[in-house]
Amino acid sequence: MSRNKCFRCGLINSNADRLCRRCGVNLGSPENAPPQSATGPVLEPRKPTNRPSRIVGIAVAMLSTALLYNYRMHSSEPPRPKPPTESEIRLNEKKESERRQQERDRETLDKLK
């Protein structure tokens, strides 16, 4: 690169300029870089803040998937916890028929009155 074009405002500064003459942005490196990054040791100021947030993001993702999985497991279950067995069905049919019989008896009794 022979010229420093400002990435923020687009002004072309001379190669010697470290900062943009118009907006004063650091031309050596992208935004948020320390002003003396060329001379000082390379620091990574974002790392301490980036790492926990990434871990939290992973944890949140895992938690949400676990919750979703759990929810699906429960919601996919039929309303009845277990299908009725044959004897239970027969018992229900018997009860149902008995109830109908009682209703019929009551109706006939009402008619007789």
Q: Is the dihedral of CA 82, 83, 87, 90 positive or negative?
A: positive
Reported as type and span, the H/E element at residue 12 is strand 12-13
Nearest approach in angstroms of CB 69 to Zn ion is 50
Decide if residue 9 touches Zn ion (CB under 5 A).
yes
Q: How far is CA 61 from CA 53, 65, 85, in A?
A: 12, 6, 41
Q: Using the minimum distance from each CB to Zn ion, give the nearer residue, 9 or 56.
A: 9
Nearest approach in angstroms of CB 5 to Zn ion is 9
Mark the segment that binds Zn ion (CB under 5 A) among 22-30, 55-63, 73-81, 93-101: 22-30
Decide if residue 6 touches Zn ion (CB under 5 A).
yes
Distance CA 113, CA 103 (A): 15
Residues in contact with Zn ion by the rule CB under 5 A: 6, 8-9, 11, 20, 22-23
